Amino acid sequence: MRDTTSSCARNDAIETLSGAQLTAWQTDRLREVANHAYLEVPFYRELWDRAGVEPGLLRSLEDFARFPTISKHDLVQAGRFWTNPHQGSVAFSTRGTSGAPLLVWLSAEEEEAYIQPTMRGFRWAGFRSGMTALLMSPVWHRLAACEAHAIARLGGRCAFFWGSMGSEYTDSFLHTLSSARPEFITTTAPFLLSLVRGSTGATIRPHDLFKGVRSVVVVGLPLTPRMREFLRDRLEVEDVFERGGTQEGAAIDECRFHSAPHVHEDVCYLEVIDDAGIHVAPGVRGRLIVTKLTTTGSTFVRYDTEDIAAFAPGDCPCGSGFRRLRIYGRPESSVLVGDRLITAYDVRMCIEEDPALVGRNVLLIREANAQAGVLTVAVEGEAHDSANLQARLREQLGVASADIVWLGDLRVNWGFRQVLDGREIRLPRN
Amino acid sequence: MATENPYLLFDVPGGRLAFGDGDLDIWAEHLAWCYRMMGIPDGATIAVQDFGSSPISFLGSSLLMPGLQRGVAERIDGRFICLDASAERVTLTPALLAQLAVDALIIREDVLVLLSAQLHKKGLAELAQRTMKTIVVFGDEPPALNPVRLPPSRHLMHIENALLLAPQCVKCECFHLREGFYEVDGRMIRNLRLAAPTYDLPRGELFSPSHCAAGIRDWCIGWSPRGQGI
């Protein structure tokens, strides 16, 4: 068995640090990680030599902000020059939604560091010793690999369904749900929404099968407040929590106040920057930059995820000093309308103001007229109060015009992408 | 014998596998033995395109499962690449194989056509064939030879609900039922290490022990050349 004592102690203690203490602690970790990267990973040494930054002189978060950001393209191009000699022996693939997928390595030491925040997040979501958890596939994501370890250490039992996270496996999921009777579930939001939609008109309704489930933790899609209520009410579970993270090291979990997921500051240092590379204030959107605070596994220092995110302003009522971050989407879940970047989350927020439209799949359509300020949105189901919805979209999203395509009976899979090119789908025009 | 206090439950086609303390390591050791029987050397980089609830995936490393002291990667001192078997993920595999030299790709038979098509599309099929062993995982019998698929180097028989893992031997080409793990009675194959349903071998020929020097006490399963598809 791996020795977990020191990392447990480290992670428990960090939750009680003051803001200044946490900053000092993170600065030390960043210096340690940067020194390691400089000495062991040629890609970083060359990059930072060119940029004129020195890890040894890193004394503050402001110093760190002068280090250049890197992209997935940089890492794919770097190939073996990005190899960390301590990267570990297990690799996972990114989803490749923004180009080529990247292999990300995980070591035992790094996993140990990430199991602790997973346990914390599951405790926040209500997991208790003795419960059974129905979990995502451990090979799906490096964070998913930590889940079963976290459940076992919290004194629980793990169940897995056969298959993967596509909508074609919802029956398999329901089978395990009905036989394992879990109290706790982790899954992806698109999968859960596909399941709810697929059960429309079925003899056995989802809430019959979810009986006894206390918490559902979802990843993969930012939950709007109405979407959370919709899932909670439709499934009749006590609560639905949002969990997030990236293969590159970001890890976030919601507490029971649902004000935005907390950043697990003990394993990752997250920044949100504008196009000029400057940190933006809480509440202002920018691009999410990730640095892992471990020296093993694949090394990510100031990695630009391209995710659109913002830190939540103010404190959380739960009392945790960990910052809160809302990830709104990615370029592939957004469209540029005129000069405004509109995410699928923004559009759903607008659409779901009408209770009749909550739970319907919504897709943004990338079309040529977007340059002229026209937002095109496809909404599942029959037309409903189009004029008011168009007005809301125009007003709240600041676009010149909104074109709504009602999909009628046409069903489009719930997915992570949420944006289609106009040529990819033949839309019924209203 | 039923597993006592199982803490890991895996639903698989036709049943459920339940593991308690110490069970996983028995099966990780067995899977590492299967890989060696198929000619995969220690230190290899193994990529597995299978579902996470398949033992071929979750026994890959101690990082994937609690209570697994040493998974396959740790036992062969190698590396393990997690490739989910969903169609979405299979389409990514060619780009990953272009980034990293893999010694063996273990792939479910039902996604091999898709992967082969993707490799051909990207012009990587020949390279993949030259540089790595492709081990195709099948159920009741090996798939028939199909020119549009990557030609397999070996096959691995996997009956999920019986946790039957029988590798195709590099010496005799037959599929070994390892002594101490499986018992054969007529055409019934019983798992001796885990509470699992007995498997009734529908086709193929059973050879009694002493058939192959690579596992002198093992029963072996052989298929006729037509049926083997190899």
Mean predicted confidence (pLDDT) in A49-65:
96
A166 lies in the same domain as A217: yes
Better-predicted residue by pLDDT, A409 or A66 = A66
Give dist(CA B188, CA A124) in Å, integer.
49
Query: Can you list the residues of chain B whose pLDDT is less than 70?
Result: 1-3, 225-230
CATH code of the domain covering residue A349: 3.30.300.30
Say whether residue A115 is in contact with chain B using an 8 A CB cutoff.
Answer: no
Say whether residue B57 is in contact with chain A using an 8 A CB cutoff.
Answer: yes
Number of domains observed in the structure of chain A: 3
A201 lies in the same domain as A150: yes
- What local confidence, expressed as pLDDT, does residue A3 receive? 40
* Element at A191 (helix H, strand E): helix A189-198
Contact yes or no for B80 and A88 at CB 8 A = no
A322 lies in the same domain as A373: no
Contact yes or no for A140 and B10 at CB 8 A = no
**Confidence category of residue A4, pLDDT binned at 50, 70, 90:** very low
Q: What is the per-residue pLDDT across A352-364, written as a single tens digit (0 to 9) for each?
A: 999 999 988 899 9
Beta strands in A254-353 (DSSP E): 262-263, 268-273, 286-292, 303-311, 325-329, 334-337, 340-343
Say whether residue A331 is in contact with chain B using an 8 A CB cutoff.
Answer: no
pTM: 0.93
Say whether residue A99 is in contact with chain B using an 8 A CB cutoff.
Answer: no
Give dist(CA B222, CA B211) in Å, integer.
11
State ipTM: 0.95
Give dist(CA A304, CA A289) in Å, integer.
5
Give dist(CA A245, CA A92) in Å, integer.
14
> Would you list the domain boundaries of chain B?
8-228
Contact yes or no for A162 and B13 at CB 8 A = yes
Q: What is the per-residue pLDDT across A32-45, written as a single tens digit (0 to 9) for each?
A: 999 999 999 999 99
Mutate: best of A131, A139, A151, partner B, most B CBs <10 A: A139
Contact B58, A158 (CB under 8 A): no
Better-predicted residue by pLDDT, A424 or B201 = B201
Contact yes or no for A103 and B82 at CB 8 A = no
In the predicted model, is pLDDT for residue A426 greater than 80?
no
Contact yes or no for A162 and B7 at CB 8 A = no
Query: Would you give the end-to-end CA distance of chain B in angstroms?
Result: 37
Residues of chain A in contact with residue B13, where contact means CB-CB under 8 angstroms, are: 162
In CATH terms, the superfamily for domain B8-228 is ANL, N-terminal domain (3.40.50.12780)
Give dist(CA A194, CA A185) in Å, integer.
16
A402 part of a folded domain: yes
CATH code of the domain covering residue A164: 3.40.50.12780
**Confidence category of residue A265, pLDDT binned at 50, 70, 90:** very high
Give dist(CA A390, CA A402) in Å, integer.
5
Contact yes or no for B64 and A90 at CB 8 A = yes
User: Is the C-alpha dihedral spanning B206, B210, B213, B218 positive or negative?
Assistant: positive
Say whether residue B64 is in contact with chain A using an 8 A CB cutoff.
Answer: yes
Domain range for A50 is 5-81+265-328
Type of residue numbered A28 = D
* Element at A242 (helix H, strand E): strand A239-245
Say whether residue A232 is in contact with chain B using an 8 A CB cutoff.
Answer: no
Last residue within a domain, chosen from A312, A328, A344: A328
A102 part of a folded domain: no
Contact yes or no for B95 and A144 at CB 8 A = no
Mutate: best of A80, A89, A188, partner B, most B CBs <10 A: A89
- What local confidence, expressed as pLDDT, does residue B75 receive? 98
Contacts of A208 (CB under 8 A, 6+ apart): none
